[in-house]
Structure 1
Amino acid sequence: MTASAETETSVGTVRVWDPLVRVFHWSLVLSFVLAWISADEWDDLHIWAGYAAAALIAFRVVWGLLGSRYARFSQFVRAPGAVVSYLKDLLSGREARYLGHNPAGGEMILLLIVSLTALCLTGWMYTLDAFWGEEWVEEVHEALANLLLVLVGLHVAGVALASLKHHENLVRAMVTGRKRAPARGDES
C-alpha cells in the first residue's frame, strides 16, 4: 500500500462531488471532445454535441444555484482578491487544501462555463438564416474553441498540480465523488 493510500485509508474520506456533478462533468468532457473531433467532418454530430453541451451548461447553472453544498456557486466563487491571494500562496508553496474547489479552480469553472456558453451560442447562431455564412460568427466560434482548448489544458494542469501538492487524486475524486477527509488547516 502506498503512503497516500495508507493516509486516505487511515484518515477516511468524505463525499464531496454528488453524482449529478460527476455525470455533468464527464458528459461535458465527452460532448466537447465529440464536438472538437467532428468540427470539420461530421456536421450533424458536431451540432448535436454542441446542443448536448448547451443543455449540460444550463443544467449546471441551475445545479450551481440549487444543488448540493459543493456544487453551489456560493461555495466556490470567490472575489478576485481571494483568487489572487490563493495564487500567491500557491507560488510560495503555502496554499491551503480545499475540500471543494480552491479559489483558482472556482475561477476556472466560471471561465469554462462562460466560454462554453459563448461557444454554444455562436455555434447556434451559425445555424440561423440571419447569421448563415457570416464569417465573423464562424471566426468567433473557432477562436472560442481554441480558447477552450487552452482553458482545458490549464484546468488539467491545475488538477495535476493540486493532486501532487496535496497528495490526492482529484481525477479519482471526480469519478468516485470522495476526497480525503479534511485535516487541520484545510478549508471546507
Structure 2
Amino acid sequence: MARERLTVPIWDLPVRVGHWLLAGSVALAWITGESETFRLWHAAIGGTALGIALFRIVWGFIGSPPARFSAFVRPPSEAIAYLKTLSTGWTTGNVPHYTSHNPAGGYAVLALLAFAIVTPLTGWFTFNEIGGEFFEELHEAVANLFLAVIAIHLAGVAVGSIAHRESLPKAMITGKKLATPDEAITAAYGWGLFPLLLAAGLGAWWAIR
C-alpha cells in the first residue's frame, strides 16, 4: 500500500536562501557584465556567487537529508529513464515523484554549481588582467554556457511543476513539497544560514581585495 503524501517541510532554510541568493547574483552579474562603471560590483557579485556555490557543495554532504548529494545524484541511466518517462507523461502526471531533486534535476544542480564556480574564477583572472584575452574570452564563453544551462534548468522546472502537479518554485520559497510525513525535515538545519552568508561575504571580499 502506497504511503500518503502530504505537503511537508523538505527544503531547509540554507538551501532556499542560497538558491535565491545565487539566482539574484547571477542576474545582477549579467546586468553589470558589460559596464565599466559597475566593474567592481560585477566582480564582487561574482565572488558572492562563488562563495554560495562552495557553501552548497559542503552543505551537500552535511545538510539536511534532501539537500545531500546522496539524495539526488543517481546513475546516469536513471536520469535518462526519467527523461524518457517525462517526455511522454509530463502532461498526464504519470511521472515518478521524488522527494528531493529528480534524477535529471540532480545533474542540473551539479552543472549549475560547476558553472557558478568556474565562471567567477575565470572572471577573477580577467578582473586582475591575468592571461590577457585568453581568460577574457574564456570567461565570456563560460558565462554564456552558464546562461544556457540556467535556461534548460528553468524549462525543466516548468515541465516538472506540471508533471508532478506541484509548484517547484513555490517549494523553494516555502520549503514544502509533497512527501510522506517521515521524510519531513526539522528546523534544526537552519544553523547553516550563518556559514552560507559568511561564505557569500568572503567570496565578495576575495573577488575585489
TM-score higher than 0.5: yes
Amino acid at match of 1:32: V
Q: Which residue of 2 aligns with 1:107?
A: 107
**Aligned pair 1:160/2:154, yes or no?**
no
> What fraction of aligned residue pairs are identical, expressed as a percent?
44
CA distance in 2, matches of 1:87, 1:11: 23
TM-score (norm: length of structure 2)? 0.78
Q: Which residue of 1 aligns with 2:9?
A: 15
Q: Would you say how many aligned residue pairs link Structure 1 and Structure 2?
A: 172
- Residue 182 of structure 1, CA deviation: 4.4
Q: Which one scores higher on RCO, CA 8 angstroms, separation ≥ 6?
A: 2
| Residues 72-105 of structure 1 deviation map (CA, whole Å, 9 limit, x = unaligned) | 0111111111111111121232430111100010
CA distance in 2, matches of 1:13, 1:176: 10
Amino acid at match of 1:144: V
Q: Which residue of 1 aligns with 2:97?
A: 97
TM-score (norm: length of structure 1)? 0.86
Structure 2, unaligned runs of 5 or more: 182-209
Q: Which residue of 2 aligns with 1:83?
A: 79
Structure 1, unaligned runs of 5 or more: 1-9, 184-188
- Residue 180 of structure 1, CA deviation: 2.1
CA distance in 2, matches of 1:182, 1:30: 32
| Residues 129-188 of structure 1 deviation map (CA, whole Å, 9 limit, x = unaligned) | 542xx11211111111111111111111111111111110111100000012349xxxxx
Tell me the SS of whatever aligns to 1:75: helix
CA distance in 1, matches of 2:137, 2:109: 24
Amino acid at match of 1:177: G
Amino acid at match of 1:110: L
Q: Is the Cα–Cα contact under 8 Å of residues 89 and 95 in structure 1 kept in the other structure? A: yes
Tell me the SS of whatever aligns to 2:113: helix
Q: How does 1:28-107 map to 2 (within 5 A)?
A: 28-41=22-35, 42-93=38-89, 94-107=94-107
Q: How does 1:172-183 map to 2 (within 5 A)?
A: 172-182=170-180
CA distance in 2, matches of 1:111, 1:83: 14
CA distance in 2, matches of 1:11, 1:77: 22
Q: Which residue of 1 aligns with 2:119?
A: 119
- Structure 1 vs Structure 2 CA RMSD: 1.7
Residues 77 and 11 of structure 1: CA distance in aligned 2, closer, same or farther (over 3 Å): closer
Tell me the SS of whatever aligns to 2:74: coil
Tell me the SS of whatever aligns to 1:180: strand
Q: Which residue of 2 aligns with 1:145?
A: 143
